[in-house]
Structure 1
Amino acid sequence: MKLVLLSGAGLSAGSGIPTYQEGTMSEEFKSFFSASEAQALQILQSHKHIFDGATPNNAHHECKKIEEFCRAADIEFQHFTLNVDSLIEKANGTTTHIYGCVNDPVTVVNSRFSEASIIDDLIWSQDDILVILGVSDNGYPIGILEANVLQAGGQVINYNIEHNSNLFCEQIIGSVTDTLKSIEVTSKLPLVFKELDLGKYKVDTYGININGLNYVVYFSPSIHFYNEMDLLEDIQTFIGHQLTHSSFEVKFDYEPNIEGGVDTQFKAPVGPPLSLLNLNVLGLTLCSLINIHKNQYGGEFYTASAAHSRLVRFYNKLAKQYCNTLKYGHWLEINLNEEMYYVIKTH
């Protein structure tokens, strides 16, 4: 399984970089292709200030988040871009420049007449996902690429400012800057949750890695989980809804803690605490997994408890940052037995 991004001019248009259509209309663009190598370098250098002054927009940062989730969830990730700007790199993401990058102008000049065979040569498989970001048919023959992915049993999602009648895939219409949401993209991944048999009930688990630390995320059936804690009635009273087999309690723990049993449960890893950046990746990964689990298992309610005071601020931030993106009805905060609980109502 792999997730591949193919980005074009529409990704960087929100940062003030000219689109493919705008560029091809200029006389300088035409002369760039007819000029000698030295002249082409001069033309590129004369426009380099446009690229140097541009800053990443929201879509570039969402690409970075998709990459971070894939890395944490052990999903193969590749990003190919037709753009010569370095905005993905400025957003701390990684990408392969099909036509070179202005950071190394010679690569752009040398790619003037090359074909984008690097992505044409990809081998697609079932469960693979291709996400096309702001690429027009004029910039690249995406119809052929789409056909290859669909024929292999994969998925294609196309983000663009207008509908493409030549494509058969799901299309998200509008500015990529406004429409691209990493959680919505990762929700398409058909992840395989491992089933943990606890005797009385079974738990769905998924392993993740954050900055070299292995964690396990648990999705336990709420009715069994809270029955064991004698909290089911209290939780249902606060929610105002009876929990069902479509309700899940979400937990995560450092993998070595699990081996130590009850004595080491939910203890912080030894060593320096996770940086703010890594905590953001952890939060994004947890919320993405909730969304994926919801899509696969039809979850109606997801509850999570910050059993330790050091986690309360972390959960508060997640509740504020992701409840709207996840499109859940609400994320309630309740307090039982001096523990902080959060409840997501999905529909």
Structure 2
Amino acid sequence: MSSWILQDFDIGDISCQIIEFSVDNHSYVMLFNRVDATRTEEMISEKAEELGIDYRENSYEVKFDLKENFESDQFFVRPEVSISVPGMRELGRIIKDLLEFHYRNSNAEAYVCVAESTKLKRFYDRLAKLYTEELNFEVRMNLGEEGLGYEITTPSYKS
């Protein structure tokens, strides 16, 4: 595993954690923000109902994007040069490793994410199939009206 540093930062009133990494000459950021730190109780209830899940106190929304998109506030714009197939495999492995790294540092009960496209959903589905057992996590897929949502529960999840 790499020597990642989980950095805290604020966007307005929202406190998040960020990790930077690179694959195939593309720089990425992965963001973790506690659900209860970014939304009101009412908003949390609405989102939970929309996805069909129960939010836990120590739950995080997780997203990743190109660093240049993040810095320019133009989220989820695809790179001009596509990532290679081996690069996609490496990206998947790094995302798995970063979830494990964050879990070990935060003891999160659950992670929630939404794929921004059907192509990204296929990528997430493949990651879930490859790594769920290895991480000892459980993944609920196809959540929400469009079926693009995921809930990843960890061994710390309290039912």
The reply to whether TM is greater than 0.5 is yes
| Shift in CA distance, 307/230, structure 1 to aligned 2, threshold 3 Å | farther
Which sections of structure 1, spanning at least 5 residues, go unmatched?
Answer: 1-65, 76-190
Contact in 1 for aligned 2:60/2:111 (Cα 8 Å): yes
Determine which structure has greater relative contact order: mean sequence separation of CA pairs < 8 Å that are 6+ residues apart, divided by chain length.
2
Which residue does 1:320 correspond to in 2?
129
Find 2:89's aligned residue among 251, 275, 280. 280
TM-score scaled to structure 1, two decimals? 0.41
Structure 1 stretches of 4+ with a deviation exceeding 3 A read 224-234
Contact in 1 for aligned 2:9/2:17 (Cα 8 Å): yes
Which residue does 1:223 correspond to in 2?
36
Q: CA deviation at 1:288?
A: 0.7
More strand by percentage: 2
Which sections of structure 2, spanning at least 5 residues, go unmatched?
Answer: none
SS at match of 2:129: helix
Which residue does 2:60 correspond to in 1?
248
| Shift in CA distance, 334/192, structure 1 to aligned 2, threshold 3 Å | same
SS at match of 1:274: coil
Work out whether 1:270 is the aligned partner of 2:80. Answer: yes
1:256 partner amino acid:
E
| Shift in CA distance, 270/327, structure 1 to aligned 2, threshold 3 Å | same
Work out whether 1:238 is the aligned partner of 2:55. Answer: no
Q: CA deviation at 1:208?
A: 0.4
Contact in 2 for aligned 1:333/1:340 (Cα 8 Å): yes
| Shift in CA distance, 256/229, structure 1 to aligned 2, threshold 3 Å | farther
| Shift in CA distance, 219/228, structure 1 to aligned 2, threshold 3 Å | farther
| Shift in CA distance, 228/259, structure 1 to aligned 2, threshold 3 Å | farther
Contact in 1 for aligned 2:52/2:143 (Cα 8 Å): no
Cα distance in 2, alignment partners of residues 301 and 221 from structure 1: 10
SS at match of 2:119: helix
Cα distance in 2, alignment partners of residues 283 and 232 from structure 1: 31
Find the structure with the greater CA-based Rg. Answer: 1
Identity across the alignment (%) = 25
Q: CA deviation at 1:205?
A: 0.3
2:140 partner amino acid:
L
Find 2:9's aligned residue among 196, 214, 217. 196
Provide, for residues 281-339 of structure 1, a one-character-per-residue CA deviation record: whole Å limited to 9, x for no partner.
111101111111111111110112102122011000011111000011x2001332425
TM-score scaled to structure 2, two decimals? 0.86
Cα distance in 1, alignment partners of residues 23 and 29 from structure 2: 11
Q: CA RMSD in A?
A: 2.2
Provide, for residues 138-183 of structure 1, a one-character-per-residue CA deviation record: whole Å limited to 9, x for no partner.
xxxxxxxxxxxxxxxxxxxxxxxxxxxxxxxxxxxxxxxxxxxxxx
Matched residue count: 154
Which residue does 1:259 correspond to in 2?
71
Contact in 1 for aligned 2:35/2:44 (Cα 8 Å): no
Q: CA deviation at 1:220?
A: 1.0
Q: CA deviation at 1:259?
A: 2.6
SS at match of 2:122: helix
Q: How does 1:83-162 map to 2 (within 5 A)?
A: none
Cα distance in 2, alignment partners of residues 229 and 316 from structure 1: 30
